[in-house]
A and B are shown apart, each in its own frame.
Chain A
Amino acid sequence: MGKFLKRAAQGADVPHDKGTSNLETVVMPLPSKITLSMGQHIGAPAAPCVAKGDQVYVGSVVGKAGGFVSCDIHSGVSGTVSEITTITAPNGAVQTAVVITPDGKQEKDPAIAPPQVTDMKSFVDAVRASGLVGLGGAGFPTAVKLSPKNLDEIDTLVINGAECEPYITSDNRCLIEDTHHVLNGVKQVMKYLNIGKCVIGIEGNKPEAIAKVQAAIDDPRIEVKTLPCRYPQGAEKVLIENCTGREVPFPGLPSDVGVIVMNVTSIAFVSKYLETGMPLIAKRLTVDGDIVKTPQNVEVLIGTPIRELLDFCGGLTAEPGKVLYGGPMMGNCVASLDQPILKNNNAVLAFSKERSHTPKATNCIHCGRCTNACPLGLSAKEIVQAYNNGDVELLQKLNADLCMSCGTCSFVCPAKRPLAPSIALAKIMMKNGGKK
């Protein structure tokens, strides 16, 4: 009751549709080409360090990090660079991309070897060299995340296994198939960053994963927290509050409350990289949607064209309406099936034209569902009104910039108003000082 008066934060009862959660991951064979975008992460894009005609190997660096908050890009195939071109990222930005035609031999780059890790610095350097970014979807370079200014104040590692988006089960499969790597990754991060405690948050709709991880834990400092099945449990701030009871201040970072958050797939990759030295070149992702013939979890090389991935899953049974990178709540629409898989993709969903239909928006009836569902306590209705009136002062008062675009408000709106996209525009207007 007290909490309800303070902030209802009810979240949304999204459908789960996780039909692929029991399907073992299959490995997709070599595609005809891979297209490696230089902007697969938050921060400065990488710069290509190969030229047309160059020979590259599995694990070769093809793009060098373009700054501190940036990340190397590696080839997943051995073959020849056939083109340096540009592609349009899902957010509309134009990115340089390296296209590689595989030779089929899959020769490993001779430089690939398990990294020598002895202390915190060499550990973070190894993570940087691995090309790892936040694989839950954000794509924030992990090495930067592991270098907070107040490292000595970090006391808890939170592992995000919530996977609250409908359809997606790749993190669930990671927890089940790579349990050892998840826990080993946790231990390595705790060891080198000197963090005393770890909470692995998993939504209650993944009983198999929870049981498997719980059975495998052999360290009392690591615990599993079962999260309620209310979207968005996997949102960083919501996850931290539910796993540690701490509230991340705004503006601020999880490290301000002594927490580092990593996704399960990211942490499992850290463990694999320390063992093999093979950088991030492939990704497990869920291919699903009402027109995908064989929905499944696929381990696919980064850069694989979406068309070839869909063909591998039996192709589409009908004309597609929308094809998404990621889940239906926060995923981006793909403009062309020639777009490549990116590092931070965790799903490719294809929907029929009927399922892609956007319902017609009607008058706001002031029901308050958006306000009471918002995990952050924002009032979507008021923010959108202030945006329509161009009232930046009110937008600031309403803290519109706190919004993380989780889409809960749009989902629960009975009048089907596009609240989340309008708030995204309101945030831009705030940045531009009032200009729409």
Chain B
Amino acid sequence: MDNKLIVTAAPHITGPDTTQKIMGRVAVALVPALIASVIIFGFNALILTVVTVASCVLFEYGYCKLVGREVPVSDLSAVVTGLLLAFNLPSTLPWWMAIVGAFIAIVIVKQLFGGLGYNCANPAIVGRIALAMGFAGKMSAYGFPVDSTSSATPLSSAAENIDYVTLLLGNHGGVLGETCAIALLLGGVYLIVTKVISPMIPVTYLGTVAVLSLLAGQDPIYQLLSGGLMLGAFFMATDYVTSPTTGKGKLVFGIGLGLITCMIRFFGTMNEGVSFAILLMNLLTPYIDELTRQDKLGIAKAKKEGTK
């Protein structure tokens, strides 16, 4: 019996959180926005989401089988990528385009770099940007609410008359997951309460946009509630792999996101402010991480005394 005792290095217990549980919570947090999108844009929104999620999972499965990598589908990260990508598509997009987006997100951005944890940019964001570049017409043919008379997206110049309540409820044009601010906030708060994400990135991102909007003479509440900002701030910018790890790093990241978003929104001509802000900050993340390490206990003090 004795020689069968297991000997390993400490610690001998691990916490309850797993990658799968975390990704599962993110997926759950996206459910209110999904329900809202079906109500706003009709059944088509659900079908497009199912197509996108399924193709993300299948691409991940197929690619890993092909190259002989262990299939990580059960960690649910492909499901989350699929949901986020679908949320960034107009409900009227042809299915095959969504499948192309899923291929770009999963195979090119995620798996070619080494799989979960090794990608340098958020797969769903790159998928969206690639589709927006390649199929500009279809991607900006925003879906419109099934039962509404309003017909513009809030950030287009023709639509200055959308009121706050409409913005909160999301009963206006846009990509399918971004319009209902209340549903996104609900999901975001759930993620913060369950400690999946730290509030640092969303708060500093939204805060920076609000402050800059005020300075630029824009209506800050309108800016916060429109476009992909809520979706981006709570769900896309907080992607672990492509955002900084320390509190300080997240602060810098959030402010950077706000700055770039506002510059594109106020001075640019494209409607991809949030996507490009996140992509650019994703690429800066390794540098931010390196420059924003924490103070280590006793190290700063020893250094200070050394220079005395």
Residues of A with Cβ closer than 8 Å to B?
Answer: 4-9, 12-15, 166, 237-238, 241, 247-252, 319-324, 328-338, 351, 353, 356, 358-359, 362-369, 371-372, 374-379, 381-382, 398-399, 402, 405, 407, 410-416, 418, 420-421, 424
**Is A365 touching B117 in the complex (CB atoms < 8 A)?**
yes
Give residues of chain B (229-269) contacting chain A, Cβ–Cβ below 8 Å: 240-248, 251
Q: How far is B297's CA from A362's CA once the two chains are assembled, in angstroms?
A: 29
Residues of B with Cβ closer than 8 Å to A?
Answer: 1-15, 17-19, 21-22, 72, 75, 77, 115-118, 240-248, 251, 289, 293-299, 301-302, 305
Given A250-B297, A363-B118, A402-B298, A329 contacting B5 (CB threshold 8 A): no
**Is A414 touching B9 in the complex (CB atoms < 8 A)?**
no
Residues of A within 8 A of B245 (CB): 366-368, 371-372, 379, 381
Q: How far is B17's CA from A248's CA once the two chains are assembled, in angstroms?
A: 32
Q: How far is B18's CA from A415's CA once the two chains are assembled, in angstroms?
A: 6
Given A322-B5, A333-B5, A411 contacting B294 (CB threshold 8 A): no
Q: Which residue of B lies closest to A320 (CB)?
A: B5
Q: Which residue of B lies closest to A338 (CB)?
A: B2
**Is A362 touching B6 in the complex (CB atoms < 8 A)?**
no
**Is A375 touching B297 in the complex (CB atoms < 8 A)?**
yes
Which of A322, A377, A381 touches B297 (beta carbons < 8 Å)? Answer: A377
**Is A7 touching B5 in the complex (CB atoms < 8 A)?**
no
Residues of B within 8 A of A378 (CB): 294, 296
**Is A363 touching B294 in the complex (CB atoms < 8 A)?**
no
Q: Which residue of A lies closest to B306 (CB)?
A: A249
Q: How far is B292's CA from A5's CA once the two chains are assembled, in angstroms?
A: 9
Q: Chain B interface secondary structure, helix, strand, loop or mixed?
A: loop
Q: Chain A interface secondary structure, helix, strand, loop or mixed?
A: loop
Q: Which residue of B lies closest to A379 (CB)?
A: B293
**Is A9 touching B297 in the complex (CB atoms < 8 A)?**
yes
- Enumerate 28 A-B pairs (CB-CB under 8 Å) in ascending A order: A238-B297, A241-B297, A247-B301, A249-B302, A250-B299, A322-B6, A328-B12, A331-B12, A333-B5, A362-B116, A366-B117, A366-B241, A366-B245, A367-B245, A368-B244, A368-B246, A376-B296, A376-B298, A377-B294, A378-B296, A379-B246, A402-B299, A405-B10, A410-B14, A415-B19, A416-B14, A418-B9, A420-B10
Q: How far is B10's CA from A166's CA once the two chains are assembled, in angstroms?
A: 13
Q: How far is B10's CA from A418's CA once the two chains are assembled, in angstroms?
A: 9
Distance of A12 from chain B, by nearest CB (Å): 7
Q: How far is B75's CA from A374's CA once the two chains are assembled, in angstroms?
A: 25
Q: Which residue of B lies closest to A238 (CB)?
A: B297
Q: A328-B10, A366-B243 are in contact. List 7 more A-B contacts (CB 8 A).
A: A237-B297, A328-B11, A328-B12, A367-B240, A368-B245, A371-B246, A372-B247
Residues of B within 8 A of A15 (CB): 13
Q: Which residue of A lies closest to B297 (CB)?
A: A376
Residues of A within 8 A of B241 (CB): 365-366
**Is B297 touching A420 in the complex (CB atoms < 8 A)?**
no
Residues of A within 8 A of B19 (CB): 362-363, 365, 414-415
Q: Which residue of A lies closest to B200 (CB)?
A: A4
Which of A252, A336, A372, A379 touches B298 (beta carbons < 8 Å)? Answer: A252
Distance of B196 from chain A, by nearest CB (Å): 9
